[in-house]
Structure 1
Amino acid sequence: MSRIENQFTVHFWGVRGSIPCPGPHTVRYGGNTPCVEMRVGGRRLIFDGGTGLHVLGQSLLPNMPIEAHVFFTHSHWDHMQGFPFFSPGFVKGNTFHIYGAIAPDGSTIEQRLNDQMLHPNFPVPLQIMQANLDFYDVISGRPIHIHDIIIETAPLNHPGEAVGYRVNWRGGAVAYITDTEHYSDRLDENALRLARNADILIYDCTYTDEEYNSPIQPKIGWGHSTWQEGVKIARSANVKTLVIFHHDPSHDDEFLDRVGQEAAQKFPSAIMAREGMVVQVPVPVPLSESFPIRKFSTYRLQSEQL
C-alpha cells in the first residue's frame, strides 16, 4: 500500500460564504465560495461545489481520468455555482458520484443542478457533461459507506435545510458543518454529534457575536453561526482543531486576522480557513506497513500551500 493510500488530508479550495469576493483585500484568505476536498485512503471526496470547485477542477485536469464523490450540503448558490464550471465534468471517462438531500419542495440534487444550467441562467444544459454522473439521495441521519470510509450525516439549522457531514476513516475524523445557525438557549445536538472527538471541525463561523446580535442589522435567522459559537461546539465536543470557515464576504484579510487572533486566545488550536491550505489528519499506520510506525498520542497539524 502506498503512502497516498495511508493518508487522510483536507484541502481547502473555497472558504468564503454568500458570494465570491476576489480582490486586493481578500488575497490571503481567498474569495472563492465553499469547496473542501478530502483525500481519504486514496479516494477523493469533495464537499460543496462553490466557485472553489472550478479551481479544484483545473488542478485535476492533468490527472485524468478522475473518480470522486461529491457531497452537497444544500443548493444555495454559493454552494453550487461552481458546478457548471467544473471542467472534469465535461470530459468523458471521468466518474463523479454526487450526493445531496431532497429539498423541502421535493426536488433532488440532480434536478437542482440541472435547473441552474437551464436557459436563461446558463448557455449549456447539464446533459452536455460527458463524464459519468451518478446521483444519490442523502437521508439525514443515515450513514454513507464508501469502502472503508464511513460518512455520517445530520440535519443542520439553515433556511431551506442543509446537511452536515462527518468523515470517519481508520480512527481519524473530520466534521464538515456549514451552513448552520446556532441556538440561543442550547448547543446544537446534531452539530455536537457530528463533531464529537473529531480531529478537525470545519464550522460555519460567518459572523462575530457582535454582528449576529447587532442592534442595527442583526443576523438572527439568516442561517449562519459565529466563531464564538464554533469555539463552544469545539470545546464541548472535545475537538482537537477548529477550522473557522465560511467567511463573510465583507470580512477582509485584516478583519480575519483579528478573528484568528481572538479565536486562538479562546481555543488555542483554532485556525482560519484559507484557500490553498492543506491539513493532514493523523491516522494509525497498519503494522503491516514497511515504513516506520509513528504513535499519534497528540494531535499534529500540517499546513502547506497546494
Structure 2
Amino acid sequence: MRIRFWGVRGSIASPGPETAGVGGNTSCVEVSCENERFILDAGTGLRGLGDAMLAQSNDRAPAMEATLLLSHVHWDHIQGLPFFGPAYSPDMKLRIVGGKNGKLGLRETLARQMTDPVFPVRHDELRASISIEEVQAGDAFRVGDATVRAARGNHPNGVLAYRIECGGRSVVYATDTEHFAGTDPQLLDLARGADVLIYDSQYTENEYRTSRMGWGHSTYVAGSELAKAAGVAQYILFHHDPRRSDEQVLELEARACELFEGSRAAREGMEIALDRA
C-alpha cells in the first residue's frame, strides 16, 4: 500500500510563501494497493493528481481507473473535481462514492457544482465513464482486493470516515470530524489496529475551547488520544488550518509527538509505503 498526499489544508486553499513547505491545497489523498487506486476527497489537490495520472498514461496502456471516496461535499472537498484532467478523458473510469447529505442526492450535488454561470462545463459533458454511489455509516464494500468500511463522523451536514484494507495493511481517513468529551466510539472501532490514521487536527486546544466548538473540526490532542486508544502505528495530522504557517504546523507536529510518538504532520508530496503484511 502506498499513500501520497496531494492536498493537506482545510477550509480554503492557502498558497503563499508561508505555507509552501507544507502545501496550500485542500484535501486530497491517494491510496494505491494491488491494482486499485483510491482517492480520498476531491479538494484542490486533485488537480495535481490528475495531471500526474495523465502523464503516466501512454499509448500502450491508456486506461485509467480510480475510486473517489468523498468524506462530504463541503466546497473545500470537491473544488478540485471540475479541474481533474482525467475526467475529461474517455479513457478514465471513475467511481465516486459518498454519503447522503439529507438535502440533495450526491449526483445532483456534484452536477450543481458545474453549472452556468459559475462554471463553463456541465458535469454531464465530462467524457470519462463516471458512476456515482451513495453509502452510509456502517456500510462495507469491496473494490478489487480491497475492503472499504464507512463510519459516521461529527460535522455540520454530515461526514463519513473511511477505512481501506488491502494486502494486510490498513489506512483510516477521518477528516472534518469533531471530537467528543471522550474518544468517539465509532472512530475508535474504525481505527483499531490501523497502520495509518489520517485525522483532522485543524485547531489547537486553545483555539478549539475559546471560539471553535461546534465547527466540526478537532485537535492534535484528540488525535493523539484516538491514536493511542486505537493502537495505530502512525498518526498523521491533517486538514491544517489555512492560516497556519509551515513553522506553526511543525510546532504542532512536535507537540503531537510528545503525546504520541508515531505522529507526523501531513505535507503535500509526502508518501507512506507499507509492505504487504
| TM superposition score normalised by structure 1 | 0.87
Give the letter for the 2:250 counterpart: D
Q: What is the aligned partner in structure 1 of residue 80 from structure 2? A: 82
The aligned runs of 1:117-132 (5 Å cut-off) are 117-132=114-129
Match of 2:215 among 215, 222, 226: 222
Contact 1:100 1:108 in 2 (8 A): no
Structure 2 CA distance, aligned partners of 1:257 and 1:94?
A: 37
Q: Give the structure 1 partner of residue 183 of structure 2.
A: 187
2:202 aligns with one of 201, 206, 212: 206
CA RMSD of aligned residues (A): 0.9
Q: Check conservation: 2:34, 2:167, Cα contact below 8 A.
A: no
Q: Aligned residues: percent identity? A: 40
In structure 2, distance between residues paired with 1:109 and 1:99: 9
Distance in 1 between residues matched to 2:162 and 2:112, nearest whole Å = 25
Structure 2 distance, partners of 1:26, 1:229, is: 24
Of structures 1 and 2, the larger Rg is shown by: 1
1:171 to 165, 168, 171: 168
- Residue correspondences, number: 272
Q: CA deviation at 1:108?
A: 2.1
1:227 shift after superposition: 0.6
**What is the CA–CA distance in structure 2 between the aligned matches of 1:124 and 1:46, rounded to whole Å?**
22
CA distance in 1, matches of 2:78, 2:204: 25
Q: In the alignment, which residue of structure 1 is the partner of 2:146? A: 149
* Structure-1 separation of matches of 2:186 and 2:240: 22
Deviation at 1:148, TM superposition (A): 1.9
- Which whole-Å CA distance do the structure 2 matches of 1:33 and 1:273 have between them? 12
What is the CA-CA distance between 1:276 and the residue it aligns to? 0.2
- 2:65 paired residue among 44, 64, 67: 67
Extract unaligned runs of 5+ from structure 2: none
> What is residue 278 of structure 1 aligned with on the other side?
271
Matched, 1:244 2:244: no
Corresponding position of 2:45: 52
Residue pairs, 1:14-29, within 5 angstroms:
14-29=7-22
| Distance in structure 2 (CA, Å) of the matches to 1:86 and 1:139 | 25
Q: Flag structure 1 segments of 5+ consecutive residues without an equivalent.
A: 1-7, 285-306
| Cα shift at 1:282 | 3.1
What residue in structure 2 maps to residue 289 of structure 1?
Answer: none
Normalised to the residue count of structure 2, the TM-score between the two structures is 0.96
Return the alpha-carbon distance in structure 2 between the equivalents of residues 283 and 264 of structure 1: 26
Of the two structures, which has the highest relative contact order with CA contacts closer than 8 Å and spacing of 6 or more? 2
